[in-house]
Amino acid sequence: MGDMSVIISGFGGQGALFAGILLCHAAVVEGKHTTWFPAYGAEMRGGAVHCAVNISDSEVPSPIIDKADAVIALNDLSQIKFENKVKPGGFMIINSSLSHVETTRDDIEYIKIPLNELALKLTQPAFVNVMALGAFIEKTGILKLESIKTVMKEMAKTVSAKKAALLPNNLECVEYGAKIIKDCLMVR
Amino acid sequence: MAKVLVKGNEAIAQAAINAGCMCYFGYPITPQSEIGEYMGAHLPEMGRTFITAESELASINMVIGAGTTGTKAMTSSSSCGIALMQEAISAMCCAEVPGVIVSVMRGGPGLGNIAPAQNDYFQAVKGGGNGDYKTIVLSPSTVQEAIDLTYRAFHIAIKYRNPVMLLADGILGQMMEPAEFGEYPFDDPDTSSWALNGADNRPARNIVSLHMPEGAMEQLTDRLFEKYEQIAKEETTSESFMIDDAKLVLTAFGSVGRIAKAAAIKARENGMKVGVFRPVTLFPFPDKDLHEVAKKADMILDLEMNKGQMLLDVRSAVFGACPVEFFGRTAGGLLTPDLIYQKIEEVYKKIETKTKAGVV
Residue A188 has pLDDT above 50, yes or no: no
Quote the ipTM score.
0.92
By residue count, chain A amounts to 188
Chain A nearest CA to B343, separation (Å) = 15
Q: What is the mean pLDDT of residues A12-34?
A: 95
Question: With contact defined as beta carbons under 8 Å apart, do B74 and B43 qualify?
Answer: no
Tens-place pLDDT, residues A25-55: 999 999 999 999 998 766 666 778 999 999 9
d(CA A89, CA A112): 16
Question: With contact defined as beta carbons under 8 Å apart, do A108 and A86 qualify?
Answer: yes
A33 contacts in B (CB within 8 Å)? 177-178
Of A83-87, A122-126, B76-80, B297-301, least confident by mean pLDDT is: A122-126
CA-based Rg of chain B, rounded to a whole angstrom? 21
Nearest to B338 among A24, A35, A66 (CB): A66
A42 contacts in B (CB within 8 Å)? 114
Residue A186 has pLDDT above 60, yes or no: no
Q: What CATH number does the domain containing A122 carry?
A: 3.40.920.10
Q: What is the mean pLDDT of residues A67-82?
A: 96
Chain B nearest CA to A18, separation (Å) = 12
So what's the pLDDT on residue A1?
46
Domain boundaries, chain B: 4-191+207-235, 239-356
Looking at 3.40.50.920, 3.40.630.30, 3.30.70.360, 3.90.550.10, the CATH number of the domain B239-356 comes to 3.40.50.920
So what's the pLDDT on residue A21?
97
Tell me the whole-structure pTM to 2 decimals: 0.95
So what's the pLDDT on residue A160?
94
Q: What is the mean pLDDT of residues A109-118?
A: 94
Domain B4-191+207-235 fold is Rossmann fold (3.40.50)
User: B4-191+207-235 and B239-356 share one CATH topology?
Assistant: yes
Question: With contact defined as beta carbons under 8 Å apart, do A61 and B262 qualify?
Answer: yes
Q: Is there a contact between B170 and A42 if contact means CB atoms under 8 Å apart?
A: no
**What b-and-e string marks burial along B192-218, b requiring 16 or more CB atoms within 10 Å of the CB?**
eeebeeeeeeeeeeebebeeeeeeebe
Stretches where chain B sits below pLDDT 70 are 1, 356-360
So what's the pLDDT on residue B201?
87
Domain count, chain A: 1
Domain that residue A29 falls in: 4-187
Chain A nearest CA to B140, separation (Å) = 13
Q: Is there a contact between B178 and A60 if contact means CB atoms under 8 Å apart?
A: no
Q: Is there a contact between A63 and B115 if contact means CB atoms under 8 Å apart?
A: no
So what's the pLDDT on residue A126?
85
Q: What is the mean pLDDT of residues A127-155?
A: 96
d(CA A39, CA B109): 21
